[in-house]
Amino acid sequence: MKTFRSTLVLALVVASVYGLVRWLDPAPPDVAQEELTPELFFFEKQDLVRFEVARPDGVVVAAHETDDGWILEGSGLRASKSMVNRVKHQLHDLVARAKVIDAPEDPALYGLGAQAVRVKVEFKNGWVREFLAGDPNPSQVSYYIQPVPGDQIFVVKKSAVDYYSFDLEDFRERRFASFDSKDVDRLQAELEGRELLSFQRLGERTWEMLSPVEMDASRDEIRGLLGRVSALKAMDFVEDLDDPSPEALEPWGLDQPRGRIHIAFGNRDPLVLLVGAPISTDPEEKLAYMTLEGEWTVYQAKHDLLNDYAEDPASFRNPRFVKVHHDDVVQVDVALSASDYDDTEGQASIKRGVDEWHWAEDGRPVPGSTPERVAIRITGLNAEDFVHDAPASLGPYGLDAPRARAVLHTEDGETRVVLIGDRGPSRELEDRVVERYYAMIEGESPVYLVDRGGIDVLEDVIREHNRKADKDEEIAERHEAMEEARIVAGDDG
């Protein structure tokens, strides 16, 4: 209570002093709302559906949103995603740095007369806003702006309006062949002097090569090929053709292109890229003429992507031969025999539970990260070398009596059996030597060379199981001894 009374007295003293100060030196009145720096725009970026820029030279740049993206009006050409995003980003929360003047006698002094750029933005709800963009201020870090209608002039950050004076080509999309590789179902490439290169998607993570040979194809390699097309960027816009006849395409070598890349999708029309004549014979100059069938704009872009499509077809072979994703594995049965270089041996089965892995024999949890590493490492085995597609005998590879056998059970009820045999030729790096082992899938012919990561995790799970078995046996022996002692003690009694 004494402490409370002291605190109360102190609060009353402070309040009295504050009131006296306010009476002797009152604060200035609140600043009027119109004197605050105003918020010129505020909207959600996704609500913008159209913008129009009318420049004093008579050029009008207008773009609107469609189901297929933003389109430049008048030409039907794709609008630059970066420029559209720039308009949205710079205007959606634009705040004036300061108000300059009300109702100026001569707006031209601020570049807001006949020489002003007029900008109109439109939104999903029908709302329309307009403003005039003028000259930079004397410090060159801000620009004059005047909302329409209105007679007030403000200054805003330079980046909000300086790009409206850019050329029309700056508003065109330079990434002229962009797409999402996840939507691609088929890829074909016809290159001058080469056989047809053709790939087909089989599933979310699997592809196959159809031509020039049939084989499983690497998903990563296919994504690389697709990425080279999707990333193409126009270094220059050469011509917009109305007549896509061979004669019209001939000046750029597009009537008989050096490359024709056909990309098919499940949810849109195909994209067909034609790669024509190089711009220069200088090997350092890596530009060529290109166009897209159906659009017929001639671009200059880097043509070294053709080198990737011209690689040896064997380089596209899928090194992930297990063909099971680790998330789909629900049980792994491991059998390991001793070898000349490691005496670890045994058998074990692990099962995936809701939150953790268990030993299949008794349902007890498997400690640590070993089970997850087993699933990831074995399903992720990569063929560093393709040794033989159909060897006459598995004996030379130690696969007739393999060192390790891992049976992968999936949640769909399927099984894949991975066999790992003898050591193969090692791979030498600058700082170490990588041991490699022969491996294959039971029931299939090809033999591969893989690094020792797979055998390592299988040895780990067998060691853990053997330690568990030894401990279980020790516990069982103690319990048996205790039971015998109890019986003896009971008999004596």
Tens digit of each residue's pLDDT (9 = 90 or more) over 114-125: 899 999 999 999
Of the ranges 44-48, 430-434, 483-487, the best mean pLDDT one: 44-48
Multiple choice CATH, 36-171, 2.60.40.4250, 2.60.40.420, 1.10.3720.10, 1.10.10.10 = 2.60.40.4250
pTM: 0.71
> pLDDT digits over 224-253, tens only?
999 999 999 999 999 988 877 888 999 999
**CA 231 – CA 308 distance, rounded (Å):** 14
Helix (H, G, I), strand (E, B) or coil at 381: coil
Q: Hey, which residues does 155 pair with through a beta bridge?
A: 98, 144
Query: How confident is the model at residue 475, as a pLDDT?
Result: 86
Query: Do residues 64 and 76 lie in contact, with contact meaning Cβ atoms separated by under 8 Å?
Result: no
Query: How confident is the model at residue 42, as a pLDDT?
Result: 87
Peptide bond into 212 cis (omega under 30): yes
Q: Which amino acid is at 454?
A: G
User: In angstroms, what is the C-alpha Rg of the chain?
Assistant: 37
Q: Which of 107, 102, 105, 106 is nearest to 118 (CA)?
A: 107
Query: How confident is the model at residue 37, as a pLDDT?
Result: 59
pLDDT at position 47 over 50: yes
Q: Hey, which residues does 271 pair with through a beta bridge?
A: 263
Q: Which amino acid is at 105?
A: E
Residue matched to tokens 């998330």: 327
pLDDT at position 221 over 90: yes
Query: How confident is the model at residue 339, as a pLDDT?
Result: 85
Query: How confident is the model at residue 340, as a pLDDT?
Result: 82
pLDDT at position 82 over 80: yes
pLDDT at position 386 over 60: yes
Structure tokens belonging to residue 29: 């009145």
Query: How confident is the model at residue 164, as a pLDDT?
Result: 85
Long-range contact list for 338-343, CB < 8 A, 24+ apart? 339/403, 341/423, 342/459
Question: Greater confidence, 28 or 399?
Answer: 399
Residue matched to tokens 């430049």: 72
What's the chain's average pLDDT?
88
